[in-house]
Chains A and B, each alone.
Chain A
Amino acid sequence: MDATHVKDRSDHDLLAAVAHGDRSAFERLYHSYEKRVFQYVRTLVADGSLAEEIVGDTMLAVWRGAGTFAYTSRVSTWMFGIARHKALDALRRSGRRQREVELDGAAELPHPHERPDEAVLRNQLATLTQRAMAALTREHQEILRLVFYEEQPYEEISALLGIPTNTVKTRVFYAKQRLKEQLAHLGQTESIR
């Protein structure tokens, strides 16, 4: 049994306790997912304060609706699904369209036990990646995050986004192509400077 399965089971146990009104279980689940859900929502709405509002609503929906979870998917898929629904709903209500990803706040936190030159390189790489990602469509940003950061299986992504698994696979392929192009373009621009 790998770490992902252990985490899935632990999340399922926590959610079952939340369904019975266990507040300490909810706090553990909250702190385990708060940042991930927040960043995922910010990928969709590109607005920090709106993202916080949506995360708050999502977490309360998890607290109130834990009993409705069907245990047929990962808890993370279920929570991201709620957050995604709320984010798209907020976008529809406010009439907003895709915005550029905010560039502030990234690549600021130093890693422990890291040499100064490594930290500089890491910051440069993060900034470059962030700028390349910002040039992608919301769908491409979202799917790259789900695959490479959330490490979701394609079946779960298919359920979350409501698209066939083949579409998930091809979307990741083309998103990676666009990101590679953007990185190459930014790399050339940086070298010209």
Chain B
Amino acid sequence: MSDPETLPAGVHPEVELLPWYVNGSLRQDDRQRVARHLESCPDCRRELDELTDIRRSLKTMYDAEAEPSARLARSVMAQVAEDSGRRSLRAHDRSWTSGLDRWFRSLLMPQWVPTLAAILLVFQMGLLVWVALPPGERGEVSTRSLRRQTATIKVLFQPSATEEQIRSLLQGLPARVVDGPNAEGTFTIEVTSGDPSASAPLVQLRDRRDVVRSAELVRP
């Protein structure tokens, strides 16, 4: 059964505030208003006395009520300790990852952007220059995509030349046989040379008359 929303007829409105006048939590202005009313109203003073007695009785009753068991406090404190340990671990994990995160983010701060862009440009330029350089100028390191420059020469060996003489000559150039002999007995050899006319290998070949009858550059 719910209570009426209003006080019974004839009850002074100050009565509504008396419980909080008794418990001491009334605001100063309300407190003064109630105090002034009480000076001139015996009915409300009687109500105040009853409320004061009820407050005293309830305090006595609740003060004497049973307390929770000591086990409750121990159980709660144990769970809090466990919680606290987990919280510390999470905080440690967070501090490590957030430190890394902060470091990466600091690199993206506006004042670092021109520096990072310049470093990236220099790196790209260096890469382009390195790729464009001829293989000889890059030392022994060769790229995957560019072939060494070669020249093709048609050579007719002396019939008297031995296989060992021919091999020794080709290794000295250096050169390798890529085709032949054809019907005329001519071999096609490939020599490595930065010079497209392959003049030096040609001179070396022609100088060996004991082994080579003729040597002609094949124009690509």
Q: Which residues of A contact B (CB under 8 A)?
A: 2, 4, 21, 23, 26-27, 30-31, 34-35, 38-39, 42, 48, 51-52, 55-56, 59-60, 63-64, 104-109, 122, 125-126, 128-130, 133, 137, 144-145, 147-149, 151-154, 166-167, 169-176, 179-180
Contacts and interface: CB of A to CB of B under 8 A. Distances in A.
Contacts of B58: 129, 133, 144-145, 148-149
Please name the 9 residue pairs, one residue from A and one from B, whose CB atoms are nearest each other, closest first.
A105-B66, A153-B25, A174-B3, A169-B16, A151-B23, A129-B57, A148-B55, A38-B68, A126-B61
Interface stretch (B71-79, B170-178, B181-189): B71-79
Interface magnitude class on chain B = 35 or more
Given A59-B76, A125-B57, 16 more contacts: A30-B76, A35-B67, A39-B65, A52-B68, A52-B69, A63-B80, A108-B64, A145-B58, A147-B20, A152-B23, A154-B20, A154-B25, A167-B5, A172-B19, A173-B11, A176-B51
B72 A173 contact: no
Contacts of B57: 125-126, 128-129
B39 interface: no
Contact of B6 (A42, A107, A152, A170): A170
Contacts, number: 131
Given A34-B68, A122-B60, A148-B58, A26 B80 contact: yes
Interface string B1-39: 101111100010001110110111110000000000000
